[in-house]
Structure 1
Amino acid sequence: MDFNDILKDFETTSRSRLRSDDTLRTEDLQALTQAWIQERTIPEVLPYEEDLLERILERMRKQIEFIELNSIELQKHEREIKLLLVIVESELDRVQFLIRSYVRTRLMKIDQFSVYIRSNEQELKKLSDNETVYMERHLDLLMELYNRQFLKNLPESLQALDEGGGLVNMVEKPDLHKPVFVKCGENGMVMIEGEEVELEKEGIYVMRYSAVKELVKMGSMIVL
């Protein structure tokens, strides 16, 4: 059996054992990759991709079970199984990397903007239940540390960490004017400082996120 035959056999076997819908698996992987790119590039926290993550994690559990079951047969049928397991493990590692990086990026933003997020109902809706619990626990620990170290020695009027008045705003917010690379999915137009800017389909631009935020949200643009 040559290498092409092995690959052909892998395609047939893996589709029947690992996936009930190969198209959905591919689309989910593409969606996860795009969600990861956007989360790392866009300054604000984006809505948590709960349904997408649940599907992918369930698929990963089945892949892990497949690896464990077939590892038992590796010594008996090494030639038939070894290549298949290597390919499955490689794909599993790639997906695990994307999920971990996606989650870590979100947690970094939550840590940075936690006071702002907690005070904004629309921002809170973007978090998963676990992320909300994490944020509240993180803020509690932070407040406990600050109170123990220095806040207790200040006048009560100066102890608030969410003070937004005066010359200095203590609540850190995402910088929506941060520049981002975007690719247009269709011809369109955006307003930048009162001036219309024409955009071409498949064109790649660098713009302030605030100018293209709604287009990205609607899917007319993707962040690179």
Structure 2
Amino acid sequence: MASGSEEGLGFGNGDGDVDVDVDVDPSIAMTTDVELLKRAWRNEKAAPEILQFESSLVQRSKEQIQLMEETVEEYEGNGTDPLTVSLYQMDLDRTQFLLRSYLRIRLLKIEKFATHISKTDSWNRLSEQEQKFTKRCMDDMEKHLTQSVLSRLPYGYQSILKQSISSEEDDMVPEPQLDTFVFCKSKSSLGAIQLDESGEEFEDLVADDLYVLRYKSVKPLIENGQIDIV
């Protein structure tokens, strides 16, 4: 990840989004950690389910933030031109925003779908710290609901997972809606992609074209990095 003068600045657009407003060769910009972090943040923000935790990217971003903080502090102490300091500070602020927002979005999804995540392969997408957080969320929620509601209900209706003892499935567990439509863009021409289980609906995905598709139909392509959600 380059410094502020090399990589350009990000500015808020009023709704919390962050944009890169300088002309940079895409083949170079897309390889920087800031762009990779922005991509991970956008995908996580738009996906209805929790995605794979970007552990290496998060660690590199934390190290880069620490380095940038030390650089800003050093420049402020030795009387470096204020404009140069402000450029570094803006780059630092942008990276901190992206990282914090990325982690916060994941925590919100965990709070909403904790039980579902713990019972599916989504569990393996979490970091070790997120798994610990998920367990605490489930324990706290079960304790609260048992004390405030479930213990006062008749026998057969005291489960946190099922509406009643006769339910065959865990019908009280919130699940992400994978049929949600998402805006997505293919990084390369992928040809005809099957969009339904019956094999009757196809879409020809062309590089850099914008599509509105069901998340479930392009989920594998998002997971392997062939498509980005925008």
TM-score strictly above 0.5: yes
Q: For the residues of structure 2 that align with 1:26 and 1:67, how far apart are their CA atoms?
A: 24
Partner of 1:131: 130
Counterpart CA distance in 2 for 1:144 and 1:136 is: 12
Work out which of the residue numbers 22, 41, 57 in structure 1 matches 2:62: 57
Distance 1:61 1:24, change over 3 A: farther
**CA RMSD, aligned part only?**
2.2
TM-superposed deviation, 1:162: 2.1
In the alignment, the residues of structure 1 paired with residue 92 and residue 30 of structure 2 have an alpha-carbon distance, to the nearest angstrom, of: 12
Q: CA deviation at 1:199?
A: 2.4
CA–CA separation in structure 1 for the residues paired with 2:29 and 2:209: 28
Aligned residue for 2:146?
A: 147
Partner of 1:170: 172
Distance 1:183 1:106, change over 3 A: same
Partner of 1:77: none
In structure 2, C-alpha distance between the alignment counterparts of 1:25 and 1:200, rounded to whole Å: 19
Q: Is 2:214 the counterpart of 1:208?
A: yes
Is the 1:186–1:220 Cα contact (8 Å) retained in structure 2?
Answer: no
2: distance between equivalents of 1:160 and 1:190?
Answer: 42
The percent identity for this pair of structures is 30
Give 1:166 shift: 4.7
Q: Which residue is equivalent to 1:188?
A: 191
Counterpart in the other structure of 2:110: 110
Which deviates further from its counterpart, 137-146 or 105-114?
Answer: 137-146
Unaligned segments of structure 2, at least 5 residues = 7-27
- Alignment match of 1:48 (pick from 23, 28, 53): 53
Query: Deviation at 1:187?
Result: 3.3
Deviates more, 1:25-34 or 1:49-58: 25-34
> How many aligned residue pairs are there?
198
The alignment status of 1:220 with 2:189, answered yes or no, reads no
| Greater radius of gyration (CA) | 1
TM superposition outliers: structure 1 runs of 4+ over 3 Å: 23-26, 164-168
For 1:142 and 1:30, how far apart are their aligned partners in 2? 37
- Give, in whole Å, the separation in 2 of the partners of 1:167 and 1:178: 23
Could you tell me which amino acid in structure 2 is paired with residue 217 of structure 1? Answer: E
- Inter-partner Cα distance in structure 2 for 1:105 and 1:42: 10
SS in 2 for 1:157: coil
Letter in 2 for 1:123: S
Gaps of 5+ in 1: 1-9, 12-22, 75-79
Name 2:89's counterpart in structure 1: 89
- Alpha-carbon shift at residue 168 of structure 1 (Å): 7.7
Distance 2:77 2:172 in 1: 58
